[in-house]
C-alpha cells in the first residue's frame, strides 16, 4: 500500500473520482498547468485535459459562481480556493446560492459540489493566509463542512464529499499537508461525512479537536499520561457540520471532563457550540466545566508571532490540568 502525505491523498482522491465519474471537474487559480500552489492537483491536467481541469481567471466569486452553474447543470465540480483567506469574496455565492438552491427550488435544482480550500496557520505565510474561519461556514444552513486530519481520512472524506448530493466545504489543514505519511489504500474507498474518529480511547478526559489540532492534542495527551497518569480520549470531529453529536456526548458522558481545542478565535467559535451540545446532553455527567483551548480573539498575527497565537501542546496540557483539578 502506498504511503502518502495528506496533500498526496487529496490528489489521489481527485484522480480516483475523475476516472470513475466524468462529471467531476476541477477548477480554480493555478490548478491546471501549475498543479495548484500546494500541488494538490498535480498531474490532473495531463490525464484529464483542460476541459476538466480548468485554469480560471483570478476571481473567487466567479470561481464559486461558475462552479455552482456547473453543479446545477449536472456536473460535480470541485473548485479550489487557493487559501481560505480568499474565500470571503465567494462568501456571497456560497451563502446566497450554493447552500440555498435545493431549498429555494424545492429540490428541482441541487448543487453537488466540493469547495476545497487550504486553511489554518503554521506555515509562515503572509497576512490572510493563516486564518481558521470554519465557524463562519458551519453557521450556514445547507452547507456541510469537512476537515480531515490524516492522509487516510483526507482521501476517503474527499471521495465522500464529491459523491455527496449536497455542497461541501472541504477545509484542508495546510500545516500538516506534508507533516507525515501513512498507508492509503489505492483506488476508491469512502470515509463517512458526519462521523467523528476516535483517535485514542481514554477514561479521564475527552479532548475534541480537528485538522492540525489533532496532532497537538495527541502530544498533550501523551504528556499528561506520562506526567500525571491521566488517560485522555481524543475525538477528531472530521466533519464540523453536521456535528457527530453521539460521539461527543457519548465520550463526555463516559469521562465527565472535556477540553476542546481549535485554532480559530474563541468568541462564537465552534467550541461554543460543542459546549452547548454537552450542556444539553451531558450536563449531569460533568465533573468540571468544559475547557476551551483556542486562538485569541485577535487578528491572526503575522508569522513572527504565529506560534504564540496557535494552541500548542503546552496550552492543551494546561487546559487538561484545569479540567482534571477543578
Partner 1 sequence: MAQTRGKRTRTASRRVEGWIKPVEPEFETIQILRDDGSYDEASLPDLTDDQMKELYEWMVFARILDQRALNMQRQGRMGTYPPVGGQEAAQVGSAYALEKEDWLFPSYRESAAMMVHGMPPELTFLYWMGREEGAAAPEGVNVFTISIPIATQVPHAVGAAWAARLRGEKKAFLVYFGDGGTSEGDFHEGANFAGVFKAPVVLFCQNNHYAISVPLERQTASRTIAQKAVAYGFPGVRVDGNDVLAVYAVTREAVERARRGEGPTLIEAVTYRYGPHTTADDPTRYRTADEVKEWQERRDPIMRFRRFLESRGLWSEAQEEELQERLRERAAEVVRKAENYPKPEPTNMFDYMYAELPWNLKEQREALLQELAERGEAR
Query: Which amino acids are annotated catalytic?
Result: 129
Q: Which range touches partner 1 (CB under 8 A), out of 10-18, 151-159, 241-249, 283-291?
A: 241-249
Task: Give 265's strand partners.
Answer: 295
* Of the candidate residues 8, 81, 97, 173, the single one contacting partner 1 (CB under 8 A): 97
- Residue closer to partner 1 by CB (options 225, 273) is 273
Query: Nearest-5° angle of CA 140, CA 144, CA 146?
Result: 125
| 206 binding partner 1? (CB under 8 A) | no
Report in angstroms how near the CB of residue 106 gets to partner 1 at its nearest.
5
**Distance (Å, rounded) from C-alpha 178 to C-alpha 150?**
10
CA quadruple 84, 264, 219, 170: dihedral positive or negative?
Answer: negative
| 326 binding partner 1? (CB under 8 A) | no
* Of the candidate residues 108, 187, 229, 308, the single one contacting partner 1 (CB under 8 A): 108
| 150 binding partner 1? (CB under 8 A) | no
Cβ neighbours of residue 123 closer than 8 Å, sequence gap 6 or more: 129, 130, 174, 175
**Distance (Å, rounded) from C-alpha 115 to C-alpha 87?**
10
Report in angstroms how near the CB of residue 253 gets to partner 1 at its nearest.
17
The residue whose grid cell reads 461525512 is: 193
Tell me the per-residue interface mask from 48 to 77 with partner 1, x by CB under 8 A, - otherwise: ---xx-x-xx-x-xx-xxxxxxxxxxxx-x
* Of the candidate residues 9, 25, 138, 317, the single one contacting partner 1 (CB under 8 A): 25
Q: Which range touches partner 1 (CB under 8 A), out of 35-43, 90-98, 148-156, 310-318?
A: 90-98
Backbone angles phi, psi at 222, to 5 degrees: -65, -40
| 33 binding partner 1? (CB under 8 A) | no
User: Binders of partner 1 among 292-321, rule CB under 8 A?
Assistant: none
> Would you state the cell numbers that stand for residue 51, as one nine-digit string?
476541459
Tell me the per-residue interface mask from 161 to 180 with partner 1, x by CB under 8 A, - otherwise: ---xxx--------------
Report in angstroms how near the CB of residue 8 gets to partner 1 at its nearest.
27
DSSP letter assigned to residue 176: G
| 238 binding partner 1? (CB under 8 A) | no
Residue of 105, 106, 95 lying closest to 141 (CA atoms): 95
Cis peptide before 242 (omega within 30 of 0): yes
DSSP letter assigned to residue 97: I
| 105 binding partner 1? (CB under 8 A) | yes
**Distance (Å, rounded) from C-alpha 119 to C-alpha 240?**
14
- Residue closer to partner 1 by CB (options 105, 203) is 105
- Residue closer to partner 1 by CB (options 106, 226) is 106
Alpha helices in the chain (DSSP H): 6-20, 44-48, 60-72, 88-93, 101-104, 134-138, 151-163, 213-228, 245-255, 270-282, 303-309, 313-324
Tell me, by CB under 8 A, how many residues bind partner 1.
47
- Residue closer to partner 1 by CB (options 89, 289) is 89
> Would you state the cell numbers that stand for residue 12, as one nine-digit string?
489521489
Residue of 199, 131, 174, 135 lying closest to 36 (CA atoms): 174
User: Binders of partner 1 among 114-133, rule CB under 8 A?
Assistant: none
* Of the candidate residues 30, 110, 281, 288, the single one contacting partner 1 (CB under 8 A): 110
* Of the candidate residues 11, 38, 102, 169, the single one contacting partner 1 (CB under 8 A): 102
By CB under 8 A, name the binding residues for partner 1.
25, 51-52, 54, 56-57, 59, 61-62, 64-75, 77, 89, 92-93, 96-97, 101-110, 141-142, 144, 164-166, 194, 242-243, 245
Amino acid at each position: 500500500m502506498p504511503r502518502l502525505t495528506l496533500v498526496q491523498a487529496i490528489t489521489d482522491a481527485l484522480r480516483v473520482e475523475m476516472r470513475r465519474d466524468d462529471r467531476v471537474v476541477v477548477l480554480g487559480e493555478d490548478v491546471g498547468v501549475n498543479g495548484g500552489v500546494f500541488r494538490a492537483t498535480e498531474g490532473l491536467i495531463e490525464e484529464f485535459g483542460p476541459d476538466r481541469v480548468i485554469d480560471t481567471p483570478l476571481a473567487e466569486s466567479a470561481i464559486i459562481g461558475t462552479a455552482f452553474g456547473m453543479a446545477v447543470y449536472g456536473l460535480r465540480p470541485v473548485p479550489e480556493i487557493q487559501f481560505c483567506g480568499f474565500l470571503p469574496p465567494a462568501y456571497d455565492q456560497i451563502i446566497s446560492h450554493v447552500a440555498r438552491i435545493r431549498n429555494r427550488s424545492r429540490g428541482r435544482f441541487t448543487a453537488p459540489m466540493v469547495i476545497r480550500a487550504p486553511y489554518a496557520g503554521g506555515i509562515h505565510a503572509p497576512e490572510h493566509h493563516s486564518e481558521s474561519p470554519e465557524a463562519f461556514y458551519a453557521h450556514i444552513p445547507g452547507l456541510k463542512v469537512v476537515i480531515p486530519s490524516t492522509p487516510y481520512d483526507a482521501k476517503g472524506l474527499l471521495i465522500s464529499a464529491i459523491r455527496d448530493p449536497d455542497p461541501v466545504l472541504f477545509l484542508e489543514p495546510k500545516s500538516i499537508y506534508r507533516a507525515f505519511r501513512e498507508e492509503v489504500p489505492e483506488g476508491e474507498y469512502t470515509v463517512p461525512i458526519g462521523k467523528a474518529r476516535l483517535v485514542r480511547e481514554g477514561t479521564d478526559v475527552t479532548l475534541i479537536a480537528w485538522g492540525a489540532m489533532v496532532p497537538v492534542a495527541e502530544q498533550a495527551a501523551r504528556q499528561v499520561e506520562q506526567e500525571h497518569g491521566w488517560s485522555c480520549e481524543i475525538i477528531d470531529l472530521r466533519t464540523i457540520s453536521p456535528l457527530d453529536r453521539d460521539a461527543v456526548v457519548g465520550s463526555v458522558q463516559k469521562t465527565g471532563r472535556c477540553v476542546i481545542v481549535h485554532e480559530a478565535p474563541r468568541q462564537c467559535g465552534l467550541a461554543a457550540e460543542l459546549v452547548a451540545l454537552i450542556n444539553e446532553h451531558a450536563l449531569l455527567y460533568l465533573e468540571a466545566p468544559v475547557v476551551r483551548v483556542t486562538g485569541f480573539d485577535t487578528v491572526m498575527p503575522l508569522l513572527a508571532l504565529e506560534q504564540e497565537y496557535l494552541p500548542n501542546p503546552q496550552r492543551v496540557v494546561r487546559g487538561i490540568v484545569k479540567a482534571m483539578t477543578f
